[in-house]
Amino acid sequence: MGVYLNPKNDSFEESFHSDIYVDKSELIHFTDTKLRKSGKYICVSRPRRFGKSVNLNMLSAFYSKGCDSRAMFEKLKIAETPDWDKYMNQYNVIHLNMQEFLSNSNSMDELLDLLKRSLLWELTDEFSDVRLFDSTNLSRTMKDIYNQKTEKDKDGNEKSIPFVILIDEWDCVFREHRDDKEAQEKYLDFIRDWLKDKSYVALAYMTGILPIKKYGTHSALNMFDEYSMVDSADIASDTGFTEEEVEELCREYNMDTEKMKYWYNGYQINNNVHLYCPRSVVSAISRKNYSNYWSRTETYEALAKYIAMDMDGLHDAAEQLLAGQNIRIDINTFQNDMTSMNSRDDVLTLLVHLGYLSYVQSTEEVYIPNKEVRNEYVTSMRAEGKWKKTIEAVQESKELLELTINGKASEVAEHIEKIHREGCDPKHYNSEQALRYTVLIAYFYAREKYTIIQEMPAGNGFADILLMPNFQNPDGIPIIIELKYDKSADSAIAQIKNRHYPDAIKEHKKVLLVGINYDKDSTNKKHECVIEEITK
């Protein structure tokens, strides 16, 4: 029993006995199926505060020979699985947090030397009766221990005891030595030489923020199966809180489920799993207050730095995302680091892994997941001068909503005209999509009181934009917005009526109709607006 070798189960016990604990022990069933098989190399990447370390502590407590964890695990979901305890506390576990070694080193050579000396010190002490060929060689020492140390299994047969290797913050090197390619490759080569094709490894489970770094043909860790924010396969729901888990917590602690969803839901994994950041949910429950919690942990990197990068289309993409649009991207060119940004899509893919965007696998699109993260975008944009006009529009959006509800059509037209003229890149000015996201940014504040639905099936077609009163605005009036180009605002209102769009809103008797048109060819880019309230 040591610090890194066969540690006690204290860390997981703290989580297990916490006031708020969500059972993720079914992950153990998955790792059990990978023990000593070709799939035994697992790398799980998630943003900060998504429960990665808690899961590692759980795996350590379950497999480590240095403790007896039955009293905890027999109360968890894993105990409902046949033969659930077959491997419990049966393995030599090595549990590392790479950030600890990085913080105590000035170079990659120092880091690796400290790591190897720390492990060898504990290994040679615990297995002092093993004849070692080279006590300074970590890989050979572990091989000698595996080959010479045996125990009897339940049937009385002698068996060797392999190692379960658990590595937290495995990618910290790439975040802090981001420009040192030599150090990064040395680190990757060490992990490969230590773990790859080694019979003494029963399971290698690494966690971090970034997927495994790519170096062209240099695929040092190609033995690992990756489970990331863009594809988590069978374990999508095991790191992060699911909708069902959050709903149960809300019932238990008397929290508003709709508010919790509005603030923290939205990370979509593998198309059908929606995740919440555990840090945010637990903080909201503990403090009985909905606020920005996850973003306060992300000070290691400013969102503003990435969305302000001078890449073709990135500025426009950031505005569209803020407006609530989904954007299609190609994630395949991303090099899994924080510096090799060669395109707009590389930046947006990095933001997915950092938790600032969510990725829809089926459509290959990204979007801002929830209010908490959306607030972070506004804060980051406010810090950069290039977003001045966009932030002004956001700040004025509350007034625009009030003008709309009060039927001030000419003033609404002036607001949108100003944003469209000053806030959009001129080369995109005449695109229909530019007007759409200009209007969506103009109504940014509306998200506080409305659910914004684009191209909602209604009557005999699709309404361009529907503002539907949400849980915070139960007595609000629905607003249907129809956009026109080189026609008239009156024709937009006529289309809403002729195609019976209001009929789709059955639970409200009154509906506000808003028609917006702009003249693409006029010198002043004139906008006009008509607002009409109807009773069904």
pLDDT at 98: 97
Helix (H) or strand (E) holding 52, with range, is helix 52-63
Q: What is the pTM of this model?
A: 0.92
- Read off the DSSP letter of residue 516: E
Residue 313 φ/ψ region, left for φ over 0, alpha for ψ in the -120 to 50 degree band, beta for the rest: left
Q: Are 403 and 335 in contact (CB under 8 A)?
A: no
pLDDT at 298: 56
Which ranges of 149-302 does DSSP label H, i.e. alpha helix? 172-176, 181-195, 243-253, 257-264, 278-287
pLDDT at 506: 86
Task: Sheet containing 527-535: give its strands across.
Answer: 450-458, 461-469, 479-485, 510-518, 527-535
- The secondary structure of the chain in percent helix, strand, coil, rounded to multiples of 5, reads 45, 20, 40
Rounded-to-integer distance, Cα 370 and Cα 516, Å: 28
pLDDT at 492: 94
Rounded-to-integer distance, Cα 311 and Cα 269, Å: 27
pLDDT at 122: 97
**Residue recorded with tokens 């899509």:** 345
Tokens of 170: 């495995």
Report the residue count for the chain. 536
Tokens of 18: 């916490």
Let me know the angle formed at the C-alpha of 488 by 484 and 492, rounded to the nearest 5 degrees.
55
Rounded-to-integer distance, Cα 519 and Cα 332, Å: 40
Q: Which amino acid is at 507?
A: E
Under DSSP, is residue 275 helix (H, G, I), strand (E, B) or coil?
strand
Rounded-to-integer distance, Cα 245 and Cα 110, Å: 43
pLDDT at 429: 55
- Read off the DSSP letter of residue 135: T
Neighbours of 290 (CB within 10 A): 19
**Over its length of 536 residues, how does the chain's per-residue pLDDT go in tens digits?**
689 999 999 999 999 999 999 999 999 999 999 999 989 999 999 999 999 999 999 999 999 999 999 999 999 999 999 999 999 999 999 999 999 999 999 999 999 999 999 999 999 999 999 999 999 999 999 999 999 998 876 667 788 899 999 999 999 998 888 888 899 889 999 999 999 999 999 999 999 999 887 765 556 788 999 999 999 988 999 999 999 999 999 999 999 999 999 999 989 988 788 999 999 999 999 999 999 987 665 544 578 888 888 788 898 899 889 999 999 999 999 988 888 899 999 999 999 999 999 999 999 999 999 999 999 999 888 877 788 888 999 999 999 999 999 999 999 999 998 888 776 554 555 566 777 888 999 999 999 999 999 888 876 778 899 999 999 999 999 999 999 988 899 999 999 999 999 988 888 999 999 999 988 765 666 889 999 999 98
Rounded-to-integer distance, Cα 306 and Cα 349, Å: 11
What are the chain's domains? 10-235 (3.40.50), 241-381 (no CATH), 385-535 (3.40.1350)
What's the 3-state SS for 79-121?
HHCCCCCCCCCCEEEEEEEHHHHHHCCCCHHHHHHHHHHHHHH
Give the residue from 404, 381, 384 showing the smallest Cα distance to 476: 404
